Copies of this chain bind each other. A is one copy, B any other.
């Protein structure tokens, strides 16, 4: 795990909703510091998602390890008049001491399935809710979107161009990592490359072409410095731009090593076909054609099925904000306190009580269905939740590298039934059941509630 400037270190203790702090104080004053279990899951999937790709655990573990309150934080809290000295002292010596169980990053998950469960003294578990939800939400959201785009690209490279329009800097960095986890090849964000060791990639911008006296001069100048670059050909007139690339190839002969051209506007499909023909006719079969500009999985499928001749995609905004589904119905719910299962009876928002496990069944190497069960059950199938932190200490030895997680995600996605992993809008039939023992327990707890 890497220290990020954006969410670790000084002062992130206060990245929490005020009520987490007031509730924590109330718990402590009333002696309610017993062990609690909170479960983090997505209640319902967005209409256009058939699965989610779990991500964000790394940030959660990093946060839980480094979470502290500074004197400056405590001084600020004191100014609110809401907190008593003994609670501020409790914060002063705060160190997260709970256990965490989670599905590995890159695991496909479904509605209602715990992504992680926290077992910790009640005030501690309450306090971490806001950050933990924030990070698992954005990273799972973006990994899930990217997974669809990678599927649409059908083996062609997808490069993340989204940093300029993600929601803030933290999202840009986490996006780059989540996209890579989901199968994206590279990011344009240099800081993400540095922090996460992800491949970085870039072409050239319209401003570079415009700044020169002519497109020709710009192409010549850029290839002189970066012989193996990608040339952007649509600043003025795309087909003329392609001709200029071909002229440059003639001029440079053996020294011409341009890898690709990029189309960013106009009728990308027909322009790609014409550009391919022109390049091939000039003996430049090796020069690839990349597309960018408002791409997402639907647009990529549309382009490819129209016969567009494209070798890769630069995908920005629509992946970077998950534009068709920019949020998930994700929650962090108390499901046990002091050994007692807990539920809610609010309309349409049920809770499965107690610690849980998800068992994923497989038939002939393909996932055949999940069962959400009590953690004490031992059902057929692979258990998805693993212990990842014990008494505040990450269980490091088993930790996988980002590349290993990416490999794992790819394998897990390939093991989903085609009806689930495909982009087709049809209803899929992936079964997610709740075990009889868990249903019985839920009923028992619900009946005990003094509602």
Residues of A within 8 A of B (CB): 5-7, 9-12, 14-23, 25-27, 29-30, 32, 36, 38, 73, 76-77, 80, 82, 122, 126, 129-131, 133-135, 137-138, 141-142, 161, 163-174, 188-191, 193-194, 200-208, 210-216, 221-222, 225-226, 229, 234-237, 240, 264-266, 317-318, 320-323, 326-328, 330, 332-334, 337, 342-349, 449-451
List chain B residues, Cβ under 8 A from A211: 27, 32, 36, 122, 334, 337, 342
Known: A126-B207, A211-B32, A345-B237. A5 touches B14 (CB 8 A): no
B344 touches A22 (CB 8 A): no
B15, B317, B320, B328: which contacts A163 (Cβ < 8 A)?
A: B15
**Given A5-B10, A207-B333, A334-B210, does the pair A346, B266 have CB atoms closer than 8 Å?**
yes
Q: Which of A169, A332, A333 has the most CB of B within 10 A?
A: A169
Given contacts A22-B202, A240-B451, contact A167 B166 (CB under 8 A): yes
**Are A5 and B9 neighbours in the complex by a CB distance under 8 Å?**
yes
Q: A196 to B389: give the CA distance in the assembly, Å.
A: 34
Residue of B nearest to A190 (CB): B14
Copies in the complex: 2
Q: Across the interface, do A6 and B344 meet the contact criterion of CB distance under 8 Å? A: no
* Closest residue on chain B to residue A217 by CB atoms: B450
- Identify A188's interface contact among B17, B141, B202, B236, CB under 8 A: B17
Known pairs A161-B17, A167-B171; A236 contacts B449 (CB<8 A): yes
CB neighbours of A193 from chain B (8 A): 14, 18, 76
Q: Are B166 and A346 in contact (CB under 8 A)?
A: no
User: Which residues does chain B contribute within 8 Å of A205, judged by CB atoms?
Assistant: 19-20, 23, 126, 129
B18, B165, B212: the one within 8 Å of A137 (CB): B165
* Residue in B11, B191, B215 whose CB lies within 8 Å of A191: B11
Cα(A171)–Cα(B131), bound, Å: 12
Q: Could you tell me if B130 and A163 are in contact, using CB atoms closer than 8 angstroms?
A: yes
* A6-B169, A191-B15 known; A235 vs B345 contact (CB < 8 Å): yes
Q: Are the C-beta atoms of A194 and B235 separated by less than 8 Å? A: no
Is A73 in contact with B202, judged by CB distance below 8 angstroms? no
How long is the Cα–Cα vector from A201 to B11 in the complex, in angstroms? 19
Shortest distance from the beta carbon of A447 to any chain B beta carbon, whole Å: 12
Contact B167 A167 (CB under 8 A): yes
With A6-B5, A190-B14, A205-B23 already in contact, the answer to whether A167 and B169 are too (CB < 8 A) is no
Question: In the complex, are the beta carbons of B167 and A216 less than 8 A apart?
Answer: no
Give the complex CA separation of A375 and B63 in angstroms: 48
A334 vs B130: C-alpha distance in the bound complex, in angstroms?
40
Bound form: Cα–Cα A264–B19 in Å: 15
A347→B17 contact, CB < 8 A? no
**Residue from the list B38, B138, B337 in contact with A167, Cβ < 8 A:** B138
